[in-house]
Each structure stands twice: as C-alpha cells, then as structure tokens.
Amino acid sequence: MIKTNISSWFSNLRNFFVHTDSKITHTDKGSHGPHWYTIFDEKIDKKACVIKAFEIGEKLYINDSLSIMTNGWMRGVITNNFVVTGFPYIKSFKYEKCELASIIEWSHSKNLEAIIKVSHESGCGLAFFATDYAFNKNNYKDQKNLSINIVGLVYEMYEFDVKELNEPASEIKFSEDYCGYFPCSEDEIDFIGRIQDILEYFLDDIAGYLITVKITPDFGMNFFIAHTNLSIELEKNKLVRGIAWVQGTLEK
C-alpha cells in the first residue's frame, strides 16, 4: 500500500524545485536495487536473469573502452570488459519537449549515469534517470532544449478516491478531476490521475501495459506496469494513484 501522505508530498515538491547554482552536480548514493521490482516479482531470481541478459544481450560498441548491452527489458554499461551497471530499460513512442534544468552525475559509476532535471513544455518540473547518459552525456550537457522519451515504470498502482485527500478538518478540498505528482526521491514520483489510454505492451517476455495517465491538466505521462504489479482492472478515465521510477532517453 502506498503510504505517502499529503503533507510530505508538498514538502518533497518544494525541495524538488530548489536548484543549485551549478548545472552539473555529483552524488555517490544512486542505486538500482529497488528498480528491479518494477518488472520482476519477489519470487524471481533477479541475479540469474541479469547475468543471462548480459550473456545474450545485443552489444553496441561506443568506443574502444565503452559498450552498451541492451535486450528487451534491460540495459547494461560495460567499460574495459567490466560491468559498471545494469538497470531495467524501456523506450516508448512518445517524446516530450523539455528544457534542461540540471544534471546529477553518479560518481560511483564513473559518471556514466545521471539524473536529469528538466522543465516540461507544459510548465511542470520533471526528473528522470537517463538510460542513455553513458554515450549521450555531451548532448545533455551541451543542449538546452531536449526531446525526451519519458516513461515511468510502476511499482504499484490502485484505484483512487479523492475523498482520501479531503480530510474533514482541512479547509483545502480536492475535486473529482484532481491530478498531480510529487517526488518520492530524485527519480521516483507518487502520482494521481485519470487513465487516458491503455496499450498491451511487452518488454521481451515481460507482459504488461503501457498506459497514459493525466498527471497535470496539460500533461499525460506514459507508464509501464507489469502484469505482476497489477492489482486492479485498467479502464480509461479511471482515477488511479501509483508510485513509479521515471526514466528517459534522447534516443530515437
């Protein structure tokens, strides 16, 4: 069950929009450990699946020391035959016009991974993990206006009733058409909105759905939810709430 409350939402939202003076900063705390739960359930041997993916995945050689492994549900970064990182991977059909705000590079993965913060053309702020940063970092650093393929990979989602937000003691009331999103971490969001579109979608042999959820009045965002994480019947116009890891790429 999603436990984020409304007070922590607004606290996190305020922190999200506090920008540093430098466009590029660094951290040594990023991790993909929880992200595997967006595509695998707890019963699957994730380590074995990842090892097999590296063995059979398609390799793209960037230069003499860097290569990228990609299969239907995962991407890995390899330098000098050493695996730097691996993470769930998806690329959909929709691109968003965004303006770069800042970059947070992961120093513990040789600055080959990063969180990108942008301003969406609708006016909202977004942060995502860049799945192509290892070979596209210069494009992120050198360009202000970006066309980003953004997808949220859902951990959990359930049908939502706005009455849960309308606490009796509060003077603030929310309408039945309420939608919104709030950061849980640098690249994860807690979102509420109505489903606009539903498409059955497969990440190789991982079955699920690609859905569009209206998370602001002017922005419908794409989300992938695996069958193993689905606990409700999906219907257009249904109001839902969920938590998702957000990733994006410049790749066409």
CA distances from 130 to 43, 91, 106 (A): 28, 11, 11
In a domain, 20, yes or no: no
In a domain, 27, yes or no: no
In a domain, 97, yes or no: yes
Residues 80 and 167 reside in one and the same domain: no
3-class SS string, 190-235? EEEEEEEEEEEEEECCEEEEEEEEEEECCEEEEEEEEHHHECCCCC
Domain boundary among 44, 68, 88: 88
In a domain, 239, yes or no: yes
Residues 66 and 178 reside in one and the same domain: no
Residues 82 and 99 reside in one and the same domain: no
Give the total number of structural domains in the chain. 2
In a domain, 24, yes or no: no
Domain limits at 82?
33-88
In a domain, 23, yes or no: no
List residues bridging with 240 in a β-sheet: 159, 193
Residues 81 and 105 reside in one and the same domain: no
Tokens at 139, concatenated: 């494009």
Are the beta carbons of 27 and 113 closer than 8 angstroms? no
* Per-residue pLDDT in tens (0 to 9) along the chain, 252 residues: 454 444 444 444 444 544 444 599 999 999 999 999 999 988 889 989 999 999 888 999 999 999 999 999 999 999 998 999 999 999 999 999 999 999 999 999 999 999 999 999 999 999 999 999 999 999 999 999 999 999 999 999 999 988 777 777 677 778 888 899 999 999 999 999 999 999 999 999 999 999 999 999 999 999 999 999 999 999 999 999 999 999 999 999
Collapse the DSSP code of 8 into the 3-class scheme (helix H, G, I; strand E, B; otherwise coil) and give the result: helix
In a domain, 4, yes or no: yes
Residues 50 and 159 reside in one and the same domain: no
Tokens 């699957």 label which residue?
44
Alpha carbons within 13 A on the beta-carbon side of 176: 2
In a domain, 26, yes or no: no
Residues 216 and 235 reside in one and the same domain: yes
Residues 122 and 153 reside in one and the same domain: yes
Residues 125 and 195 reside in one and the same domain: yes
Residues 141 and 202 reside in one and the same domain: yes
Residues 175 and 194 reside in one and the same domain: yes
Element (H, E) at 102: strand 96-106
Residues 155 and 44 reside in one and the same domain: no
- Calpha distance 134→114 (Å, rounded): 9
